[in-house]
Amino acid sequence: MKAAALRRLLRPYRLTPLTPIETRLLTLVCSGIELDSGERVFVKILNSGIAGVRRNFLREIDLLKALADWPGVPRLLVSATGPELVFHACESVDGKSFDALAQAPEGRDLAVIMHHTGLLACWVRDLHRLGIAHRDLSPNHVFVRRDGSLAVVDFGMAKSMLRLSPAERQLCEGYDLQAFGMILWEMICGRPLFPYRDPRLADVIQAEMVLIREAGLPLRVTTLLMACLSARSELLPEGIAANARFKTAEELAAALEPA
């Protein structure tokens, strides 16, 4: 979609898009300005006619509404679900993503990494307490704001677990646990390693677990990584063999409490 056409569609919502407009597989995304306040926003537009994709996008809007004013979730400003335009606009996050921090010298300090991921573990625990799993955590979806708090974006794969059986819920939560382990290890290594939500994930996790054992990390960190990466999840229902694995984000957050 060209910028002029998008400006026309967003004008009734008092928004104007800023270039560049990024074309993703199923969506368009761009920064924008709320015309009345001048506030910077992040705009995400559905760019697919596939029924299942539209359903997930509408579910994302519903979840953002349900999580209004909830810590760590960008504030939803406006949305539309009409025949011509399906989109939502949230406040722009002021901060650096985890993957950007991992490239910066100050972001490579293990104590700093453990502090930030400790905040993420508590955020995931609290989200699960609400009966919601994010299911798409990755270093570019988690931001450290200027005030030091976290913000997590992209709820396109998020899911309510309230009607799931205990076994289904564990697998749903388990992917967030695995993703946490992947994020932590990538931040320690300072580069992307894992194919998130990909059938190749099991082989990559097992290969990285060998490297984790040999990395010379503090025992507490090694144990934490292994317990996350070996969790049973939607992609790996049987999990990966390990001495211990986390079953819930409650266990994960407790393991990250100060010794």
Tens of pLDDT, residues 218-243: 999 999 999 999 999 999 999 998 88
Residue 256 main-chain phi, psi, to 5 deg? -95, 0
Instruction: Based on the fold, state whether residues 31 and 157 are members of the same structural domain.
Output: no
Task: Please count the structural domains in the chain.
Answer: 2
> What does the pLDDT read at residue 84?
87
User: Which domain range does residue 120 map to?
Assistant: 95-255
- Which among 229, 139, 141, 231 has a CA at the least distance from the CA of 192? 139
User: Residue 19 — very low, low, confident or very high, per pLDDT cuts 50/70/90?
Assistant: confident
- CA 154, CA 157: separation in Å to the nearest integer? 8
Query: Residue 107 pLDDT > 80, yes or no?
Result: no
pTM of the model: 0.94
Instruction: Based on the fold, state whether residues 63 and 112 are members of the same structural domain.
Output: no
Boundary residue ending a domain (28, 57, 91):
91
Which residues does 152 contact at the CB level (< 8 Å), separation at least 6? 72, 73, 120, 123, 134, 137, 141, 142, 143
User: Residue 203 — very low, low, confident or very high, per pLDDT cuts 50/70/90?
Assistant: very high
Work out the end-to-end distance of the chain between its first and last CA atoms, rounded to an integer number of angstroms. Answer: 53
Boundary residue ending a domain (45, 74, 91):
91
The CATH number of residue 78's host domain is 3.30.200.20
- CA 259, CA 244: separation in Å to the nearest integer? 19
How much is the average pLDDT of 68-95? 94
Instruction: Based on the fold, state whether residues 8 and 114 are members of the same structural domain.
Output: no
Boundary residue ending a domain (76, 91, 106):
91
What is the chain's mean pLDDT, rounded?
Answer: 94
Instruction: Based on the fold, state whether residues 34 and 112 are members of the same structural domain.
Output: no
The DSSP output letter for 83 is S
